[in-house]
Amino acid sequence: MTYDLWYWNGIPGRGEFVRLALEAGGIPYRERAREPGTDETTLIEDMQSARKHPPFAPPYLVAGKMTLGQTANILLYLGEKHGLAPDSLEGRLWVNQLQLTIADMVAEAHDTHHPISASEYYEDQMEEAARRARVFREERIPKFLDYFERVLGGPDRWLAGGKDWTYVDLSLFHLVDGLLYAFPKRMGTIAAHYPNVFALHERVTALPALQAYFASGRRLPFGEGVFRQYRELDAA
């Protein structure tokens, strides 16, 4: 079965966490909103079409007759179905728990540039963004990275502790990638405190299973999504 992944075209966004799992797992999928002749309207119409389990927002994955929404929920399914998560229930719940913690940080990263409204321009909430970004840089980035550093426990470990990567390692890689893009000064200042997190980032970057994807041009550059490069929101 080839999965249909639906996500906004043009940005990595939350869709990228799903893409990385599909790509690293060698799982066939089509990215429907990036096919020729489709645009944002195609996606919105598909999302609002009658179906048993409608998604609230992209990304969503169509797996035969089943539609799955919510990034962490899609990954929970792919992890179990395609061996991208531990076999045990305890291991799968642990990976899901970590994924949800990553999702929380992703939402906070988004709100640094849109603290008032996702539907208003950044330029109309710049002052609030400056305040929120400062708190994110100074309090929230260390709090989350301290946690992942502690969970990893060593520079050669995967988050779930086994000998193979799981989908949440790919997600932490992408989260760190996004933080490096959006907050390069801040990340430069604190990087030395997180050797385990940065070692994981390096190992996922070098993962053989992802090299074809990285070389393909399918991995979209950061831009107008969750992680944005507004210089005034970054500081050492």
Strand partners of residue 4:
30, 62
CB of 54 to its own copies, least distance (A): 7
- What is the four-CA torsion angle of 9, 202, 232, 133, rounded to 10 degrees? 90
* Residue 15 tokens, joined: 């869709």
Near its own copies in 107-126, by CB under 8 A: 107, 111, 115-117, 119-120, 125
User: Can you read off the two tokens belonging to residue 115?
Assistant: 């603290």
Among 35, 83, 131, 214, binds its own copies (CB under 8 A): 131
144, with CB counted inside 10 A (0-12, 13-18, 19+), is buried
In the region spanning residues 136 to 175, those forming contacts with its own copies, defined by CB under 8 A, are 139, 144, 147, 150-151
How do strand 60-63 and strand 66-69 relate by DSSP bridges? Answer: antiparallel
- Name which position in 44, 93, 206, 236 contacts its own copies (CB under 8 A): 93
- Picking from 4, 1, 2, 13, the residue whose alpha carbon sits closest to that of residue 68 is 4
Q: Using the minimum distance from each CB to its own copies, give the nearer residue, 82 or 219.
A: 82
**Beta carbon nearer to its own copies, 121 or 208:** 121
- Residues in contact with its own copies, shown as a per-residue x/- string from 16 to 55 under the rule CB under 8 A: -------------------------------------xxx
x/- mask, its own copies, residues 52-91, rule CB under 8 A, reads -xxxx---------x-xxx-xx--xx-----------xx-
Q: Is 132 in the site for its own copies (CB under 8 A)?
A: yes
Joined together, the tokens standing for residue 40 give 């944002």
2 binds its own copies (CB under 8 A): no
In angstroms, rounded to a whole number, what is the distance separating the alpha carbons of residues 36 and 88? 41
Nearest CA to 33 out of 67, 5, 57 is that of: 5
Which lies closer to its own copies via its Cβ, residue 9 or residue 101? Answer: 101
Chain positions contacting its own copies, by CB under 8 A: 53-56, 66, 68-70, 72-73, 76-77, 89-90, 93-94, 96-97, 100-101, 104, 107, 111, 115-117, 119-120, 125, 128, 131-132, 135, 139, 144, 147, 150-151
